[in-house]
Amino acid sequence: MLNQPYCAGKLITLVLLLLGALSCSAARHYQAPLHQSVWKMAKTKGSCRLQHDIPYYGRAEFSHTSKKGIVFKMYAWRKNTKSQKVQLSASPTTWKHNTDEKKLGEVRYNKGNIPFSFRRSTALQLLAELEQGMDPSLTFVDKPGPMDKVRVSLSVVNFLPAYQRFQSCVSRLSPMGFDKIKTRTVRFDNAKHTIKSEEYDYLNDVAEYVIRNSHIREIHIDGHTDYNGSDKYNVRLSRRRARALRRYLIKLKVPAKMIKIRYFGEKQPVSNNQTANGRTKNRRAGIQLIRMSE
C-alpha cells in the first residue's frame, strides 16, 4: 500500500512543476497600472512631444515637428539584439466590455534601444485607437527563452487631457495655414492615375491639417483628363484619378465621409489641348477644402 503523505507530496511537487512550466510560457505584459498611468505633454523648440512611461520596459513618445510631421518611437531600457516582425493590435480597456480586440497588422521590431519607430500613418492609427478608448499593444517573442512572448501596451488612462494639450501645441507649431492648403492641382502622367512622388508632401499636409482642425467640413476632389482617347475612356480615367487621391487620404486616416469626388473626363480643360504643354496641364485633379462656414 502506497504511503499517503508520500503520494500527496509527489502530487504537490507535480502541480508546482506544471505551474512553473505554465508561468514560463505565459506572456510577459508590460503596461502602466491604472494608478501609474501618466501622459505628459512637453514642448521644445520646434516640436511637441506626448510621452508615456511603461514601467520596467521603457517610454513611448509621439513627437511632431513642422518638417517631419508626426512620428512614434518606443525607447526601451534594455537593448534589443534581434530584428523581427511583431503583431500590432488594439485591446479594449477595462470599461469597454463589449468591444473585441482589433488586429492592426504587422510592424518591424528593430535592434537597439528604439525597438519601435513608426511614421505618420501608423502613429496616427495609434492615436486614433487611444482616442477611442483602446489600448494599442505590440506582441512578440523575446529572449531569454525561445518561447518567451512579450506584450507591450500603451494605457488609455489619463490620455485624453494630455492629448488635447498636444493637439493645441501642434496647431500653434505648424506654419501651414488654411489659405496655403485650401486648393491644389495635382498633375498626372499621360493615361495614368498613379500619384506622382512630388505630390505626397502636399497630400500629407492636407491629411494632417484636416485631422487636426475640426472646422473642415469636406474635401472636394475633381478628376480631369486631356482630350486624348474616347469620351468614355476619359471619364473612367478621370474617375480613377479622383479615386486614387481619395484612397490615399483615407489611408492617412481622413474620414471617408468627408471626401466628395467628381469626374469630368475632358470636358473642363484649363489649357489648350492642341499643345503638349496644354495637355500636360489638363491631366489633373483639383483638391479643395471646404470649411464649416462655407
Q: How many domains does the chain have?
A: 2
- Phi then psi for residue 246, to 5 deg, are -60, -45
Chosen domain end from 173, 201, 226: 173
**pLDDT above 50 (res 215):** yes
**pLDDT above 80 (res 217):** yes
pLDDT at 220 (0 to 100): 97
**pLDDT of 121-170, one tens digit each?**
889 899 999 998 999 999 988 765 555 788 999 999 999 999 999 988 88
pLDDT at 23 (0 to 100): 42
The CATH number of whichever domain residue 103 belongs to comes to 2.60.40.2540
Asked if the structure places residue 2 within a domain, the reply is: no
Torsion sign over Cα 175, 179, 183, 185: negative
**pLDDT of 189-200, one tens digit each?**
999 999 999 998
Nearest by Cα to 138 from 153, 125, 120: 153
Percent over 90 (pLDDT), the chain? 55
Asked if the structure places residue 150 within a domain, the reply is: yes
Helix axis angle, 200-212 relative to 159-173, nearest 10°? 130
When pLDDT is cut at 50, 70 and 90, the band that residue 246 belongs to is: very high
pLDDT at 22 (0 to 100): 42
Locus of grid cell 475632358:
266
Residue 134: alpha-carbon gap to chain centroid: 14
Question: Are residues 141 and 212 both part of a single domain?
Answer: no
User: How are beta strands 183-187 and 148-153 bridged, if at all?
Assistant: unpaired
Domain around 227: 178-291
User: How are beta strands 148-153 and 28-30 bridged, if at all?
Assistant: parallel
Least confident of 40-49, 189-198, 282-291: 40-49
Residues 6+ apart with CB under 8 A from 185: 284, 285, 286, 287
Q: Average per-residue pLDDT in the chain? A: 86
Distance CA 166, CA 228 (A): 49
